[in-house]
């Protein structure tokens, strides 16, 4: 990853470039929602349950988009999360590349070696930056990001990898990068400082292959352009890799010390 690359917030208004805002949408349902069978390309590593998908299900980029076409659905009645990648609704039913489900009240990780809707085998939702938390003034989690060349390995808490090289000079899935403590926040907008403080404390977690230093947020047309423009000026060289191994309690759990 080049240190000269700048961060890129991969969310916000699309200004007509696509029919929906940039970012990954989240659909909220209750337990009464109809459940459907989804056919998976990578069925061997997908959770074979019925997914609460329907005409109300929002697909990343819109119904006719190219790209990753992630779907995130939360059942608020049971606190269960459902995520799929490369999702399509056709006349023959629902299809996706892969799919996974998590109980949001649990810290249990997927089976080691299994993908999810992300190459790292992690849930997407917890790593999305959300406008409501930025407005609240405090982001209390790491943020999901992508890069173009990754190593063929993964480190905790990631469970899976899909790298193109076997070279430890490139990051593995699950790698965490933190904005340096010395990075000065003076001169930035108040909402930009909220995001940068989260990047200092919790960092960015490498979750998928994609454009370098793109980090993801929940889709909304209300993201302020001033915030997004300032985040685009932060260089990759302002980050440092963090060894998170001492934080691990169990290799099969997201719980930290």
Is 190 inside any structural domain?
A: yes
Tally: H helices and E strands in the chain: 3, 13
Is 174 inside any structural domain?
A: yes
Per-residue pLDDT, averaged over 191-218, amounts to: 98
What pLDDT does residue 3 have? 64
Q: Which two tokens mark 218? A: 């929940």
Q: Which residues contact 75 (CB under 8 A, 6 or more apart)?
A: 29, 30, 31, 33, 52, 81, 82
Is 165 inside any structural domain?
A: yes
For 111, other C-beta atoms within 10 Å of its C-beta total 10
Domain of 149, in residue numbers: 8-247
Is 77 inside any structural domain?
A: yes
Is 45 inside any structural domain?
A: yes
Q: How confident is the model at residue 173 (pLDDT cuts 50, 70, 90)?
A: very high
Query: 3-class DSSP state for residue 22?
Result: strand
What is the share, in percent, of the chain residues with pLDDT greater than 90? Answer: 97
Is 253 inside any structural domain?
A: no
Per-residue pLDDT, averaged over 155-180, amounts to: 98
Which residue bears the tokens 């299994």?
114
Q: Give the pLDDT confidence of 78-108 residue by residue, as tens digits.
A: 999 999 999 999 999 999 999 999 999 999 9
Q: How confident is the model at residue 1 (pLDDT cuts 50, 70, 90)?
A: low
Whole-prediction pTM: 0.96
The CA distance from 146 to 140, in Å, is 20
How many domains, the chain?
Answer: 1
Q: Give the pLDDT confidence of 214-238 residue by residue, as tens digits.
A: 999 999 999 999 999 999 999 999 9
Is 18 inside any structural domain?
A: yes
Is 2 inside any structural domain?
A: no
Per-residue pLDDT, averaged over 182-190, amounts to: 98
């Amino acid at each position: 990853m080049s240190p000269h690359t700048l961060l890129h917030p991969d969310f916000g208004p699309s200004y007509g470039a696509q029919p929906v805002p940039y970012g990954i949408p989240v659909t909220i349902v209750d337990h009464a929602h109809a459940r459907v069978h989804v056919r998976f390309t990578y069925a061997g590593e997908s959770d074979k349950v019925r997914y609460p998908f329907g005409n109300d299900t929002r697909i990343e980029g819109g119904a006719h988009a190219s790209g990753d076409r992630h779907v995130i659905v939360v059942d608020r009645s049971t606190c269960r999360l459902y995520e799929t990648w490369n999702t399509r609704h056709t006349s023959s039913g629902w299809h996706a590349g892969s799919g996974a489900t998590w109980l949001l009240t649990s810290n249990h990780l997927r089976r080691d070696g299994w993908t999810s809707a992300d190459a790292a085998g992690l849930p997407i939702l917890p790593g999305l930056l959300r406008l409501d938390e930025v407005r609240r003034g405090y982001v209390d989690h790491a943020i999901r990001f992508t890069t173009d060349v990754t190593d063929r390995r993964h480190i905790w808490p990631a469970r899976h990898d899909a790298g193109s090289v076997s070279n430890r000079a490139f990051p593995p899935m699950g790698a965490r990068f933190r904005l340096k403590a010395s990075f000065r926040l003076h001169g930035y907008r108040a909402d930009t400082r909220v995001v940068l403080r989260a990047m200092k404390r919790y960092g960015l977690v490498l979750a998928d292959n994609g454009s370098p230093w793109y980090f993801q947020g929940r889709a909304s047309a209300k993201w302020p352009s001033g915030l997004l423009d300032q985040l685009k000026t932060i260089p990759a060289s302002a980050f440092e890799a963090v060894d998170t191994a001492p934080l691990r309690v169990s290799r099969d759990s997201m719980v930290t010390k």
